[in-house]
Amino acid sequence: MRSWSEQKYKLIGCYADIFTRGMRYKWDKLIYIDLFAGAGYSLIKGSRKILKSSTLIAMDIPIKFDKYILCEENPEKLSALKIRVQREHPDLDVVFIEGDSNRLVEKIKSEIPLHSKTTKVLPFSFVDPYSLNLHFATIRHLGQNLMDFLILLALHMDANRNFDIYLNENSTKIDHFIGDSNWRLDFQNRFSSNHSKFVNFLATKYEENMINIGYKKPPEFHQIRSDDKNLPLYYLAFYSKHERGNDFWAKTKKFSNPQTSLDF
């Protein structure tokens, strides 16, 4: 993990805190879902500094979620996470799911308490993939009901660096990422397949997809840059079906002193 991840974790902690404080008395159950949960702690490369990652940060907030659903594909990381959660938060309701969240979306969804007239349930999902290995079908399925998302879009780290690979029709990674196997034609029509427009194209497509499944248009994407060369790395994109969610996200960025925001 690099030092710029600190900003990402600061944002997730701030949002989780604002979310639970603001919704505790309006909803009966607040659910935290982490689709790429990791090991709980991460070492910053080139230093001795160790940071808590998203899951433990979301457990440290003053007003807890009622249930935590944690998915991690790497067995060693999941084992470490279980030990750390049990040691630091033994009283919380936590479900651990081992495997690829894209393949286990039904299992993840089944662990969310049912929303009813007597039990109002509001989930929040943090999605922090290592590359563009997140399928839009996963987000679409989880977002069929009420759910807020904070998603890391690795558009510079992955998409921009591997442009030639993804433009090849033998690659299906972008097909799954934006849920469209005909995206190359769309990219050609919009931007003449211009490499410099690829990140903009994918960001716009992702936003359009989220709006099409009922999410509010986000005011902006939050850009994370490298500390050493100030190069763009990825975006944090927040999505909610209610304007209150966008208000919470705006407060999060204000209180956490964000680095850069980018309008599309």
Per-domain residue ranges of the chain: 5-155+199-262
Q: How far is it, in rounded angstroms, from Cα 71 to Cα 37?
A: 6
Mean pLDDT of 59-78: 98
Q: How far is it, in rounded angstroms, from Cα 116 to Cα 121?
A: 8
Q: What is the pLDDT of residues 165-207, one digit of tens each?
A: 999 989 999 999 999 999 999 999 999 889 989 999 999 999 9
Q: Is residue 222 very low, low, confident or very high in pLDDT (cuts 50, 70, 90)?
A: confident
Q: What is the pLDDT of residues 103-138, one digit of tens each?
A: 999 999 999 999 898 999 999 999 999 889 999 999
Mean pLDDT of 71-95: 98
Residue with tokens 């660096």: 161
Q: What's this model's pTM, rounded to 2 decimal places?
A: 0.91
Q: Is residue 219 very low, low, confident or very high in pLDDT (cuts 50, 70, 90)?
A: confident
What is the number of other CB atoms lying within 10 angstroms of the CB of residue 195?
A: 11
From the list 58, 54, 63, 66, the residue with the least C-alpha distance to 115 is 66
**Topology (CATH level 3) of domain 5-155+199-262:** Rossmann fold (3.40.50)
Q: Is residue 262 very low, low, confident or very high in pLDDT (cuts 50, 70, 90)?
A: very low
Q: Which residue has the higher pLDDT, 43 or 126?
A: 126
Position 18 scores a pLDDT of 96
Q: What is the pLDDT of residues 85-106, one digit of tens each?
A: 999 999 999 999 999 999 999 9
Whether pLDDT at 81 is above 90? yes
Using an 8 Å Cβ cutoff, are 31 and 112 in contact?
yes
What is the number of other CB atoms lying within 10 angstroms of the CB of residue 52?
A: 17
Using an 8 Å Cβ cutoff, are 248 and 15 in contact?
yes
Alpha helix locations (H) across the chain? Answer: 5-23, 54-60, 75-88, 105-110, 136-142, 163-167, 173-178, 183-191, 198-212, 243-255
Position 189 scores a pLDDT of 93
DSSP string, 69-107: EEEES-HHHHHHHHHHHHHH-TTS-EEEEES-TTT-HHH
Q: Is residue 224 very low, low, confident or very high in pLDDT (cuts 50, 70, 90)?
A: confident
Position 6 scores a pLDDT of 82
Position 261 scores a pLDDT of 45
Mean pLDDT of 61-81: 98
Whether pLDDT at 264 is above 60? no
Whether pLDDT at 260 is above 50? no
Whether pLDDT at 258 is above 80? no
Three-state DSSP at 125 gives strand
Mean pLDDT of 59-83: 98
Listed range (164-178, 206-220, 221-235) with the worst mean pLDDT: 221-235
Q: Which residues of 126-150 are buried (b: 16+ CB within 10 A; e: fewer)?
A: bbbbeebbbbbebbeebbeebbbbb
Query: For the packed helices 183-191 and 198-212, what is the interaxial angle rounded to 10 degrees?
Result: 120
Position 227 scores a pLDDT of 60
What is the residue-averaged pLDDT of the chain?
A: 90
